[in-house]
Amino acid sequence: MANQKTPTKLFAAGEPIIKEGDEAQAAFVIEHGRVEIWSQRDGKPVVLATLGPGELFGEMAIISSAPRSANATATEDTLLWVITREQVSTRLESSDLVVRLLFNVVLRTLRNEMRLFRDKNGDEDEGIRDEVILGDFLTDDRDAVEKIKFESSLRRAVKENGLDLCFQPIVSLEDSRLRGFEALVRWNDEIYGTVSPEDFVTLAEETTLIEPIGRWMIEQACEHLVRFQREGGEEKIFMNINASGKQLAVRDFPDMLIGIVNAHNLSPEFVKVEITESIVVDNESAMEQINACRDHGFPVVMDDFGTGFSSLSYLITLPISTLKIDKSFVQLMATNERARAIVEAVVGLSRKIGIQVVSEGIETREEMEILRDLKCDFGQGYLFSRPVPAEIAMEMVRRQSCDI
């Protein structure tokens, strides 16, 4: 058997590499030489394949943990690269559930065909062993099937207008006046009920669905903003939209955004793009997209500040116009002196460098008063209003207040 310590192993001409029925520890890639894959049929060896440099063999048994299903013999002096079980299993474990499901189904079909082939030769043992091993995949399969169903429902929702946008007020803390909204997407499904964006935005990001969802969300947000600005007071209402990393990864995001905003005759200064730090970590392209948004005149908001890395360097390298202090931080503040001191410092520092501050997740009057005393510019949270449908948001705009 191959030596696990070295990545290569030499076999002389005629030397067996793999024996049918053996436990599998490794797969191989041929560096040079030639290998015959063969099996017994009616008591005679039948060659299934002859492989040369660059070709891979022995992978099936290490993927499925089943015994070897064929023999491999070097037909000339052969040098092989050894691929260990861990190399394969760690990759499989980190791969997408659905890909794993499809992979397992194909593998099962293949092994069943091989079993039929072997059964003809009177060897039934192998087949029984396969059943036991393949049983391990079932839990994973169910999760994967659920995921496919969930994704299909989301696809249908995107196609058939099953998504909704709601709006959460952002108020000026000084006088509690309504100043803008954050647009938040909702999915109401007949099977799954109301699904939180946290649960489906991630799935949408794993597929290409984030693109149509993002575009639809921006179009809707702009359409409503036009009406809000028309019905609102002198001071124009603004709209914050969330841009995920995958949305920004699409090259034409800034162009798409300006295209939609222009088509609605809106000024980009009233459409603010919320990003999180995680988007830009080690991502040059996202940085470029964010700069392009700023160049088009869109204010850029750093969301969830206080979580993650909270690196102050992004306040220098990114064109941030507003900082949004995360709700977890805001909610600590009432009972934690240090949290309060940090918020105070962040507000002070932001003011010095000309950045506005929004505190999100304000649920109590006490939290609001602390933030007002700290001279934080804006607030958002259940105390003022939960995210509401467009008609209610419109009513708030007309009254210039969240109290309706």
Residues lying near ligand C2E in the complex (CB under 6 A): 168, 184-185, 196-198, 201, 217, 242, 244, 247, 303-304, 327, 360-363, 380-382, 387
User: Within 13 A of 278's CA, how many CA atoms are on the CB side?
Assistant: 9
- Is residue 379 a contact point for Ca ion (CB under 5 A)? no
Q: Sort 125 into a burial class: Cβ within 10 Å, 0-12 / 13-18 / 19+.
A: exposed
2 contact choice in ligand C2E, Ca ion, none (CB below 5 to 8 Å, kind-dependent): none
Question: Minimum distance between the CB of residue 209 and ligand C2E, rounded to whole angstroms?
Answer: 11
Which part of the chain contacts Ca ion (CB under 5 A), choosing from 130-138, 252-260, 269-277, 362-370? Answer: 269-277
Q: Which is nearer to ligand C2E, 44 or 365 (CB)?
A: 365
# residues contacting Ca ion (CB under 5 A): 4
Structure tokens at 60: 């099936």
| Listed ranges 7-15, 76-84, 195-203, 298-306: which one lies at the site for Ca ion (CB under 5 A) | 298-306
In the complex, the smallest distance separating the C-beta of residue 233 from ligand C2E, rounded to whole angstroms, is 24
Q: Do 366 and 336 meet the contact criterion of CB atoms below 8 Å apart?
A: no
Alpha helix locations (H) across 232-283?
A: 245-249, 253-263, 277-280
Cα–Cα distance measured from residue 377 to residue 396, given in angstroms and rounded to the nearest whole number: 20
CA-wise closest residue to 72 among 93, 90, 47, 97: 47
Q: How far is the CB of 274 from Ca ion (least distance, A)?
A: 4
- 197: Cβ–Cβ under 8 A, 6 or more apart, which residues? 184, 185, 186, 187
Distance of CA 338 to the CA centre of its chain: 33
Pick 82 or 248: Cβ nearer Ca ion: 248
Among 130, 205, 303, 367, binds Ca ion (CB under 5 A): 303
Annotate 52-79 with b (16+ C-beta within 10 A) or e (fewer): eeeeebbebbbbbebbbbbbbbbbeebb
Work out whether 276 is an interface residue with Ca ion (CB under 5 A).
no
Return the structure tokens found at 385: 């209003």
CB of 184 to Ca ion, least distance (A): 8
Q: How far is the CB of 361 from Ca ion (least distance, A)?
A: 8
130, 205, 274, 377: residue in contact with Ca ion (rule CB under 5 A): 274
Nearer to ligand C2E, 144 or 248 (CB): 248
CB of 278 to ligand C2E, least distance (A): 11
Tell me if 304 contacts Ca ion by CB under 5 A: yes
| Among Ca ion, ligand C2E, none, residue 367 binds (CB under 5-8 Å by kind) | none
Q: Which of 105, 99, 98 is nearest to 144 (CA)?
A: 98
Q: Cβ distance 247 to 211 under 8 Å?
A: yes
DSSP-derived secondary structure letter, 31:
E
387 contact choice in ligand C2E, Ca ion, none (CB below 5 to 8 Å, kind-dependent) = ligand C2E
Residue 384 CB, shortest distance to ligand C2E, in Å, is 8
Residue from 168, 220, 242, 385 in contact with Ca ion (CB under 5 A):
242
Which spans of this chain sit near Ca ion (rule: CB under 5 A)?
242, 274, 303-304
